[in-house]
Amino acid sequence: MATESQLGRPFWVFWSALTATNIGDGIRLVALPLLATQLTQNPTLIALVTVFTYLPALMFGQIAGVVVDRVRKRRLIAGSQIVRAAVLTWVAFAIALGNLDISMLCAAAFLYGVAEAVSDPAAHAMLPGLVPAAGLSRANSDLQSGQIVGEMFVGRALGGILFAVAQPLPVVANVLLLAVAAVGMLSLGERESETHSDQAAHAGEHPLHRAAERTDYRGGDRAAGSIRKFVRELADGIRVVTHSRLLGAMSLLLAVWAGVSGAFWGVAAIYALRNLDSGEIGFGIMLALSAVGSLAGARLAVRVIRTLGAPSAALTAVLVSSASIIALTWTRELWLASVLLAFNGAAVTLWNVMTITIRQATVEPRLLGRVSSTYLVLARLALPIGAGLAGLIAAAAGAPAVFLVFGGFLLAVSAVLLPMLWKVFGQVWPRGQASAMHSARWPSQ
């Protein structure tokens, strides 16, 4: 198992660039809705800013995966950071000139989301080229930690503070962070950013990829720009997931978990203020402790998986998350709800570190961007569905009923899918995932 010091300079440059971007994301997630409230009092129009932020991932997520697998990922990530910086520069100038309106803010959120939809799968696909296979779990743990600290703690706090000083300040700060991140990504040479790509690309034939291998690529570069080839490549990413028991089951569990998350956020404020009588400060404390749990999960994930083994770690993550969510149904104390959410955050992050690592270690490099995009699209789709259903349940039976329904649903789906994954997880993570690249024993149908 690789230690942090063995991950190397390219990884830490990559980590620094993504963490800077995450801090900027945290600032943006606070600043744009606050800007919207200064432009209109219509709650529907204010909510549209958030809708337009996440809509591009659904509209272009799969297409972005094809682009990621065709283009140099380092340049693609840097380019997306530059585009986002340009969009926010436009917003900053509009604020300074006094001509920003809600339609411009929605357009900016949409363009920002398009660039983000390309950057996220590119980052997932780039990591295996930066670190050896044995270091993927530690690298993912560190990336999750950087995201949690950067977005949930530093970024969101800075967003509120800077906005209170002057409206353009959080936007300008985000622009500067994105510029620094882009410079960091571009400072990585092509060799540095693909140090381990050849090893991954020649890891051997694998039944996981048979579905994709059925596609005929005889047209080569001559057909690179054709619509037919683009559609085939688009279908390959989906087919690899749907034809693999491992990837398919993990993607379904991810979608269910994302739906549970959307359900929680859909009723979190109502639950805290009405059922827990937390007040605004107590609500903030509850969310902060949830983030602390997520950070603890990221830092301890590798140790937990190494100690328990991947199958038992997966079972632990599911049981802890389900039990924590269900227990909220009968919880009326703020401190207890905060502890339960911290445990849930730790469990979700443990699952993320493990499954992202397995995906990176098992999917052929030329398909990883498309497969990662498929996962991200599923999560983005499940989030609003979960939130919408939670609203209907809360209206009929109260917010606590949401936790019983969704926690029970997660437990039921896991009871079906985890037995399918138990043996496979044991094979792909034998106290570390270095041998995963060479395994040819996983069921693909």
Q: With a cut of 60, say whether residue 18 has pLDDT above it.
A: yes
Domain locations along the chain: 1-194, 244-432
Mean pLDDT score of the chain, rounded to an integer?
A: 84
CA-based torsion, 50, 52, 58, 63: positive or negative: negative
- pTM for the full model? 0.83
Q: pLDDT tens digit string along 258-280?
A: 999 989 888 888 888 888 988 87
Query: How far apart, in Å, are the Cα atoms of 26 and each of 153, 159, 386?
Result: 8, 7, 22
Contacts of 364 (CB under 8 A, 6+ apart): 200, 201, 203, 206, 208, 209, 212
How does residue 188 score in pLDDT terms, banded at 50, 70 and 90? confident
CA–CA gap between residue 222 and residue 226 (Å, rounded)? 9
Quote the tokens at residue 65: 């995966």
Is 87:111 a contact under the CB 8 Å cutoff? yes
- DSSP class of residue 1 equals -
Please tell me the CATH code under which domain 1-194 is placed.
1.20.1250.20
Q: With a cut of 60, say whether residue 211 has pLDDT above it.
A: no
Q: Is 125 exposed, middle or buried (0-12, 13-18, 19+ CB in 10 A)?
A: buried
pLDDT of 225:
52
25-34, 46-55, 239-248, 287-296, range with the lowest pLDDT: 46-55
CA–CA gap between residue 125 and residue 70 (Å, rounded)? 12
Classified as helix, coil or strand, 42 is coil
Q: pLDDT tens digit string along 317-374?
A: 999 999 999 999 999 999 999 999 999 999 999 999 999 998 988 888 889 999 999 9
pLDDT of 100:
92
Is 371:240 a contact under the CB 8 Å cutoff? yes
CA–CA gap between residue 286 and residue 200 (Å, rounded)? 42
pLDDT of 7:
82
Is 89:173 a contact under the CB 8 Å cutoff? no
Q: Can 1-194 and 244-432 be said to share one CATH topology?
A: yes
Domain 244-432 class, CATH top level:
mainly alpha
Is 413:250 a contact under the CB 8 Å cutoff? no
